[in-house]
Amino acid sequence: MEAGKPVTYSGQGFSLLGEKGRFVLPPDFRKAVRDSGRGERILCLGKHPRWKCLTGFGLGRVDEFEAQLDREEEIALERGNDFDRDDRSRQLYGFAKVPFDDSGRFILPERYFKLGGLEEAAFFQGGGKMFTIWNPAELAKMGAGWEDAIEACADLQAQALSGKGRK
């Protein structure tokens, strides 16, 4: 990663739950996570604060959390809204650090299956500073505005199930 250049996550990917209970982080996401972590193969995982999915990012994003908290607090105060910095900090910093191998394989901690509604498949959706990880059935419930992600997921899932998406 170039100094001062933020890592962004874009595109989509898909993984079926494989042997030994592992998912595979798609190549583009794998590279961005590694770049964010200055070469470390550590995937940071958390529960999305609003949706039934997980968030993923590299270690470098943690450096941005205090500035993000400051911005969110300032906006809340300007709008006259309450802001619980401790609660929001817990959401941001409460992530798990999950190692992955050179092929992107990682073992999802058991509690994240429940938190993200994951079962036998995971759809990865780029989201800028982070990406989301979805159970295809949960993503399908999102409705209007999510059509592209839902169709991409269905297409990638069909490829994976036919064997064309596996390596």
Mean pLDDT, 10 residues at a time, the chain of 167 residues: 69 94 95 93 95 96 92 96 94 93 95 95 96 98 95 96 67
Question: Which pLDDT does position 163 carry in this prediction?
Answer: 81
Question: Which pLDDT does position 5 carry in this prediction?
Answer: 62
Euclidean distance between CA atoms 99 and 105, whole angstroms:
9
| Chain-centroid distance, C-alpha 120 | 17
CA 116 → CA 16, 38, 67, 140, distances in Å? 15, 27, 27, 14
Euclidean distance between CA atoms 50 and 154, whole angstroms:
23
Question: Which pLDDT does position 72 carry in this prediction?
Answer: 95
Question: Which pLDDT does position 54 carry in this prediction?
Answer: 98
Question: Which pLDDT does position 165 carry in this prediction?
Answer: 52
The DSSP bridge partners found for residue 24 are 105
Q: What is the CA radius of gyration of the chain?
A: 16
| Chain-centroid distance, C-alpha 133 | 5
DSSP three-state, residue 97: strand
Question: Which pLDDT does position 1 carry in this prediction?
Answer: 42
The values of phi and psi at residue 79, to 5°, are -90, -5
